[in-house]
Chains A and B, each alone.
Chain A
Amino acid sequence: MAEFFVDRLSLSAPVGYTLAALIQCVLIVALIGVAALLFIWMERKISGRIQDRWGPNRVGGKFGWFQTLADGMKLLTKEDLAPKDAQVILFRLAPYVSFAASFSAYLALPFADGWVIAPMTMGLFFILAVLGLEVFGVILGGYASGSKWSLFGAIRQAAQVVSYEVPLAMCAVVPVFLCGTMDLVAIGEKQAGLFTNWLVFHDPFTFVIFWVYFTCTVASVNRSPFDLPEAESELVAGFLTEYSGLRWSFFFMAEYSSMLLVSGLAAILFFGGWNGPLPIFHCIGWAYQQSETTWRLTGYLANLAGCVNFLAKAVLGVTVMMWVRWTLPRLRIDQVITVCLKYCVPLAAICFVGALMWQTLAWPSPNDLVPVTPAGKAGVREQWVLQQAKNAGRENLVGVSGPATDMPVTDIVVRPLEQEGGEG
C-alpha cells in the first residue's frame, strides 16, 4: 500500500509509509475489535445453546446482536478504579500491554494469498514471539493489583504459559520443517489444491500434532479447561479481580483476539489457510497464476473468497474452543502442568520426529494424491510495486533491505506502529 502511495500518488516516502501504516492500523483494530465483539456475542449465544437457554435476545433485534456493544457502553461508563494497594501505573498499563501484544501479532498473519500487513519471511516466529508477550500484561496486572487473588492468577498464568510455550513451539515448527519456510504465506500456498494437500493430512503424526497444538493454544490463551489464571470458583477472578470498566474489557478483547489469532494460525499451519477444500477458483481460472504480478479483479475476488475461507476456518476453531469451555470442568494447576510436561511435550516431540521422518523418507502421503506445484510467488502480487521498484533500482528507498532476490518476499523493516492502535 505504501508503494502505491509513493509511486502512484507521488507522495514522499515518509508520508506514504505513515499513511499506509495508519490505514492498516485502523483496519486491523477495527476488524479485530469487531471480531472480538462478535465473538463475545457468539460465545453467549453458543453457551446459551449448549445450556438450553436463549442467550441475548433483546438488544438489537431478535438475536441480541448489539448486546456486546451495549455492554461495552456500560463498561465505558464505569468508574476506572484502581485499588488502594495497587501499583497504579503498572496497574493501568497492564491491559494495554496484553491488548497491544495480542493485536500486534496480527501484523504477520496473512488473511489470504499475500494479504498480510507486514510480509515477513519469519512470520510464524514473529507471531509466536509476540503472542508470548501477552502474558506480561497479565502478570503485570496481577502483580500490580495489590490483591492476593490477582497475584495467584498472575503466577498461575506465568507458570502455565511458560510451560505451554514449549510444546506449542514444537508443534508449530513441524509445518515449518515440512514446508521449509517460516513464511506463513508460503506455508499456506504450499497447501493449495485439494483438501488432501492440507498439512494435517500429511501423515498420521501431523494429524496428532494438530490436536496437541490445539490443546496448547487453548492453554496459552487461558480458555477452559485451562482457565486457571481466572478460575472464578477458586481465585474470584484471578488477575482480573481488581479490574473494572474499560480496562477489564481490554483484557477481554485481548483474550478473544488471541483466540482468533491462534485459530487462524492453526488454519494456516494445518488446514490450508485460505485454500478451500476444493480449488474452485483455480479451476475456473480466477485465481492468480504463478508468474502473474499484475492486479486483476477476478484474482482479487478469488483472494477475497480465500479470505472468507480463512476466517471461516479460524472462527470454526474459536467455536470449538467455546464448545470445550462450556463442556469441561477446569483442571487443577498441577494437572495443567502435568498435561503439558508429561503428555504434550513428549507427544509433540515424538510427532515432530515422526513427521520429519515421513517427509525425509518420502513415505506415501495424502498430500501426494493431487500434487500442486507451490505458487511460490505468493506475496508478490499484492506488492507488485516491488517489482517496479526493483526495475527502477530504488530498492533501498522503499525500505527493502538488501537487493531483491528470487525469494518471494524480502525482509521488510517492521515498524512498531500497531502499539498506538491498541489505545484507540
Chain B
Amino acid sequence: MTTADDSRILEFDVRTEEMLINMGPQHPSTHGVLRVVLRTDGEIVFRAEPQIGYLHRCAEKIGENLSPRQWVPYTDRLDYLAGMNMNLGWALAVEKLLGLEVSEKVGHIRVLVAELGRIASHLVAMGTYGLDLGSFTPFLYAFREREKILNLFEDVCGARLTYSYMLPGGVMADLPPGWLEKCEQFLTELEPVIADYHALLTSNQIFIKRTAAIGVLSAEDAIGYGCSGPVLRGSGVDFDLRRDGELYCTRMYQGYTYQVIVRKDGHYPKDHDYPPVPPEAVIGDCWHRFYVRMLEVVQSIDLVRQGIERYRQAPGDCGVPVKMTQRLPKGEIYLETEAPKGQMGFHLISDGSAIPWRVRIRSSSFCNLSIVPILCQNCLIADVPAVIGSLDVVLGEIDR
C-alpha cells in the first residue's frame, strides 16, 4: 500500500501496527497454564482474550464412570489450592441428592477445615498477587503460614494437597487428639503476621498505585458475568453463599456469627484495625478484590475459633461416609457452595444406579476469568497480570 493516500499519515508521525502477543501458556504470571492473547500497540493492550483448556482432564466424563465416593479424589484436583472446599462442595451435593443429614459434629469439623482451606487459598492468592506485581517476599510469608495449615491438614487426613477428607455422608476420620490445640496455636501465630502482609502490600504506596482504579468491575458486570466470591463482593455486591445459600450449604454455619465481607455504605465491617481504604481505590477495582480476601482471612480465623469451641461441645460422631456401591436415587440436583474463589457448583444427575448419569461442575474461576476481556481493555501490559492475579483463578478448576 502506498502511504501517500493513507489519511492516517497526517495524524501520526509514526505508523504503528498492532502486535499479537501470547501471554502464556508458559508464562510466570498466568497462575498455571492459562494463555491470554493480547492485541497490543506498544505497551497498551487493546484486547486480552483468555484461551483455556490446557489443563483439561475430563473430570466430568470421569464422573460419569465412577460412583460419587470414588470421584472425591477428582474434586481435590479441581481447585487444587483449596481441595478441602472442593470436597465439601461435592459431599454436600451428593448428600443433597441422597437426602442425607450429617451430625452436628461433622458440620463443625467441616466448618473448621473448610475455613482453614479458605485461609490457605487466600494466602496463596495474596502471595501470588504480590509476585504478579513484582514483590517476592509476601509470597514466601504466605507460604510459610500456608505450610502450617498443610501440616494441620496432614494431621487430619494424611495428605497435604489432595485431601479427599470430606466425604459424602461424613468425614474420613475424626480430628486427631491434640489437633484443636495445634490449630489454636496456629491461629494465634497467624493473626499478628497479617499486619506484615498489610504493610508489605495493602498499604504500600506502590501496591496501591498498581492496583487502585485498575480493572474496575461494576456490580452489574460482576453479576451478569456470573462472578462470585471475593470478586463479586469486591464489586460491592452483598452475597455470600455461607449466609445466602441453600439449606444444605448454610446448615453447618448456623449458630456461627460472622459478617459478609463487603463494602456497605462506604465502609467494610469494622472489627479490625487494618489499613484504611486509600482514596484512589474505586469499588470493584483490583485493590478492593484483594482487600476483601485479606479481610476474609481474618473472618475465617474467627470462624475457626468458633468452630473449635463448638466442636468441643458438639454431640454425635464423625458420620458414616456413603459406600462406593451406594445406589443413588433417581433425580437431579444442583448445589452451590461458597469456595474460597467463589461459588462452586455441582450438577448431579442420577438414573437410579450407583454411578451418576452426569456430573457437571460449575467453576467459579471459569466465570471469574471470563471478565478478563472486559477488564483488560485499553490497559497497559503490566495491568494484565495485575487484573488476572486479582481475580485469583486456578486453572485446575477452569479446565477441569
A and B, direct touch (CB closer than 8 Å):
yes
Chain A residues at the B interface, C-beta cutoff of 8 Å:
47, 50-53, 148-149, 152, 155, 224-225, 227-228, 231-236, 326-335
Most chain A Cβ neighbours within 10 Å, of B21, B134, B201, B382: B134
Residues from chain A with a CB closer than 8 A to the CB of B381 are 152, 234-235, 333
Say whether B134 contacts A233, CB under 8 Å. yes
Query: A332–B207 Cα gap in the complex (Å)?
Result: 10
Say whether B135 contacts A51, CB under 8 Å. no
Residues from chain B with a CB closer than 8 A to the CB of A236 are 27-28
A152-B381, A334-B380 given; A329·B210 CB < 8 A: yes
Nearest residue, chain A, Cβ from B141: A52
Say whether A51 contacts B141, CB under 8 Å. yes
Report the number of A-B residue pairs with Cβ-Cβ less than 8 Å.
83
Smallest distance from the beta carbon of B20 to chain A beta carbons, Å? Answer: 9
| Beyond A51-B136, A332-B383, 4 additional pairs, beta carbon < 8 A | A148-B19, A326-B137, A328-B206, A330-B134
Say whether A231 contacts B136, CB under 8 Å. no
Query: A328–B384 Cα gap in the complex (Å)?
Result: 19
Smallest distance from the beta carbon of A227 to chain B beta carbons, Å? Answer: 7
Smallest distance from the beta carbon of A2 to chain B beta carbons, Å? Answer: 47
Most chain B Cβ neighbours within 10 Å, of A52, A148, A224, A233: A233
Residues from chain A with a CB closer than 8 A to the CB of B207 are 329
Smallest distance from the beta carbon of B344 to chain A beta carbons, Å? Answer: 27
Smallest distance from the beta carbon of B203 to chain A beta carbons, Å? Answer: 12
1/0 per residue, CB under 8 A from A, across B181-214: the answer is: 0000000000000000000110010110110000
Query: A236–B36 Cα gap in the complex (Å)?
Result: 13
Say whether B43 contacts A333, CB under 8 Å. yes
The count of chain B contact residues (Cβ–Cβ below 8 Å) is 31
Smallest distance from the beta carbon of A198 to chain B beta carbons, Å? Answer: 29
Interface residues in B124-139 (C-beta closer than 8 Å to A):
130-137
Residues from chain B with a CB closer than 8 A to the CB of A335 are 206, 209-210
**Which of A52, A233, A328 is close to B28, meaning CB atoms less than 8 Å apart?**
A233
Residues from chain A with a CB closer than 8 A to the CB of B136 are 47, 51, 326
Residues from chain B with a CB closer than 8 A to the CB of A231 are 134, 382
Query: A329–B381 Cα gap in the complex (Å)?
Result: 16
* Interface assignment of B385: CB less than 8 Å from any CB of chain A: yes
Residues from chain A with a CB closer than 8 A to the CB of B383 are 332
Say whether A232 contacts B144, CB under 8 Å. no
* Interface assignment of B140: CB less than 8 Å from any CB of chain A: yes
Say whether B384 contacts A234, CB under 8 Å. yes
Nearest residue, chain B, Cβ from A338: B209
Residues from chain B with a CB closer than 8 A to the CB of A148 are 19, 21
1/0 per residue, CB under 8 A from A, across B12-55: the answer is: 00000001010000011100000000000011000000000000
Chain B residues at the A interface, C-beta cutoff of 8 Å:
19, 21, 27-29, 42-43, 130-137, 140-141, 144, 200-201, 204, 206-207, 209-210, 380-385
Residues from chain A with a CB closer than 8 A to the CB of B131 are 233
Interface of A, helix, strand, loop or mixed by DSSP: loop
Residues from chain B with a CB closer than 8 A to the CB of A225 are 134, 206
Say whether A329 contacts B141, CB under 8 Å. no
A233-B134, A328-B206 given; A51·B29 CB < 8 A: no
Residues from chain A with a CB closer than 8 A to the CB of B206 are 225, 328-331, 335
Query: A231–B135 Cα gap in the complex (Å)?
Result: 11
Say whether B210 contacts A51, CB under 8 Å. no
Query: A224–B141 Cα gap in the complex (Å)?
Result: 19
Nearest residue, chain A, Cβ from B28: A232
Most chain A Cβ neighbours within 10 Å, of B21, B43, B210, B380: B43
**A and B contact pairs by CB, cutoff 8 A, 20 listed:** A47-B137, A51-B136, A51-B140, A52-B141, A52-B144, A53-B140, A149-B21, A228-B382, A232-B134, A233-B131, A233-B385, A235-B381, A236-B28, A326-B136, A326-B137, A328-B135, A329-B210, A332-B210, A335-B206, A335-B210
**Which of B132, B140, B141, B204 is close to A233, meaning CB atoms less than 8 Å apart?**
B132
Query: A51–B207 Cα gap in the complex (Å)?
Result: 18
Residues from chain A with a CB closer than 8 A to the CB of B134 are 224-225, 227, 231-233, 328-330
Residues from chain A with a CB closer than 8 A to the CB of B19 are 148
Nearest residue, chain B, Cβ from A327: B137
Query: A335–B132 Cα gap in the complex (Å)?
Result: 16
Query: A332–B383 Cα gap in the complex (Å)?
Result: 8
Query: A234–B376 Cα gap in the complex (Å)?
Result: 14
Query: A176–B286 Cα gap in the complex (Å)?
Result: 46
A51-B141, A53-B140, A234-B385 given; A329·B133 CB < 8 A: yes
Say whether B384 contacts A51, CB under 8 Å. no
Smallest distance from the beta carbon of B210 to chain A beta carbons, Å? Answer: 6
Residues from chain B with a CB closer than 8 A to the CB of A52 are 140-141, 144
Residues from chain A with a CB closer than 8 A to the CB of B43 are 152, 333-334
Query: A234–B201 Cα gap in the complex (Å)?
Result: 18
Residues from chain B with a CB closer than 8 A to the CB of A332 are 209-210, 380, 382-383
Say whether B209 contacts A331, CB under 8 Å. yes
Smallest distance from the beta carbon of B24 to chain A beta carbons, Å? Answer: 10
Smallest distance from the beta carbon of B17 to chain A beta carbons, Å? Answer: 12
Query: A148–B28 Cα gap in the complex (Å)?
Result: 16
Say whether B140 contacts A330, CB under 8 Å. no
Smallest distance from the beta carbon of B247 to chain A beta carbons, Å? Answer: 43
